[in-house]
Amino acid sequence: YWAALGVWVVRESVRKTLNKCMKFDNKREVIESAKKIGEIKYNFPVDSILQRSKLLNQVNTQKNLGEWF
């Protein structure tokens, strides 16, 4: 923010966001939803960000315990 509005602004923004819970069954649904929101609400292509995402790359290459045993 460019103006010092106080902690309550951030707190209320987070509270409002968390009350709009979205649940997904798998990672593909999350990515598709993010693409739709980025394109419709913000008129922004999300594909370039997803291709460079370090977090998404780590999740895709992370091993689970079942792979070790």
pLDDT per residue over 15-62, tens digit each? 998 898 889 999 899 999 989 988 998 898 888 888 899 988 888 888
Residue 11 in domain: no
Residue 44 in domain: yes
Range(s) of the domain holding residue 40: 24-68
Number of domains in the chain: 1
Q: How confident is the model at residue 2 (pLDDT cuts 50, 70, 90)?
A: low
Put residue 43 in one of left, alpha, beta given phi > 0 → left and psi -120 to 50 → alpha.
Answer: left
* pLDDT of res. 32: 92
Give the end-to-end CA distance of the chain in Å, rounded to a whole number: 49
H-helix or E-strand containing 46? none
Nearest 5 degrees, angle CA 25-CA 30-CA 34? 155
CB 39 within 8 A of CB 45: yes
